[in-house]
Structure 1
Amino acid sequence: MYPTYTCSPPMSGNTQAYLTLNSFEAGGDGGGPSECDGKYHNDSTPVVALSTGWYNSGSRCLNNIRINGNGRSVVAMVVDECDSTEGCDKDHDYQPPCPNNIVDASKAIWKALGVSRDNWGDLDITWSDA
């Protein structure tokens, strides 16, 4: 019913992506605990989930990436996968599969990028390994 992806756009020095908002806290909209460490993370911690292709079977787990957007830059830790292959079930908080170009970010990242709260949720960005 929804498109699914096993790959993401190729990586470059500044890979174009779409920043979305996610809560990694228990009871948040991220569903279960993070894939990389089996833990929940506070919304004030700069953490992200990457689309399946960029998550690359966990090869970026607990590594930092640099996110550039809104004229600012922030470093965040990869803690989860934004699943591009499955969705619409309890494990995925009944959300559809993630597109293949998503960096799903905690509130801390949106704050660090200086995006006004009423504009949180969708932002064109670039990112790279830190």
Structure 2
Amino acid sequence: MARDTYPHYHCSPPVIATTKAVLKLNKFEKGKDRGGPSECGNAYHSNEEMVVALSIGWFKNMAHCGHRIKVTASSKSVYAKVVDECDSIYGWDNDHNYEPRCSNNIVDAPQAVWNALGLDQNIGMKGITWSDE
């Protein structure tokens, strides 16, 4: 599929008590998957930090910055701080490390979150639920 034909998402599914999402493995360090620094605080984060990025509709123009969310996979839950958006509108440019746009249901997380949930990082994506805490 040509990069210009990928969908653009301006919204995400409604946030409910247990919102279904896809956990995507991503690196938040300088020069890695995320491209530039995080939207919240204009900083990079270690892959050992319990942080996440939410799809643009859930991120709500920085409204979730600094909030903790509960991420649940396979009956195990962890808490992580929202530090960035997973851009569902733009992509394929230097600001986004030439990565494609996110879907509207993504929670990006580094190794620390995957490890705490006991997930195999080799799969790269996993169905989860998340909630505001």
TM-score, normalised relative to structure 1: 0.96
2:130 matched residue in structure 1: 127
| 1:37-81 per-position Cα deviation (integer Å, ceiling 9, x unaligned) | 100000000111000000000000011000000221000000000
CA RMSD of aligned residues (A): 0.8
Aligned ranges 1:60-79 → 2 under 5 Å: 60-79=64-83
List alignment gaps of at least 5 residues for structure 1.
Answer: none
The ranges of structure 1 where at least 4 consecutive aligned residues each deviate by more than 2 angstroms after the TM superposition are 116-119
Quote the Cα distance in structure 1 between the aligned partners of 2:14 and 2:77. Answer: 21
1:113 matched residue in structure 2: 117
Quote the Cα distance in structure 2 between the aligned partners of 1:7 and 1:117. Answer: 27
Q: Give the CA deviation at 1:117.
A: 3.6
Quote the Cα distance in structure 1 between the aligned partners of 2:126 and 2:41. Answer: 27
Total equivalences in the alignment: 129
Aligned ranges 1:6-25 → 2 under 5 Å: 6-25=10-29
Identity %: 52
List alignment gaps of at least 5 residues for structure 2.
Answer: none
Q: Give the CA deviation at 1:116.
A: 2.6
| 1:88-123 per-position Cα deviation (integer Å, ceiling 9, x unaligned) | 00101111111000000011000000013433x110
Q: Give the CA deviation at 1:22.
A: 0.8
2:34 matched residue in structure 1: 30
For the 8 Å contact 2:25–2:121, the answer to whether it is kept is: no
Aligned ranges 1:92-103 → 2 under 5 Å: 92-103=96-107
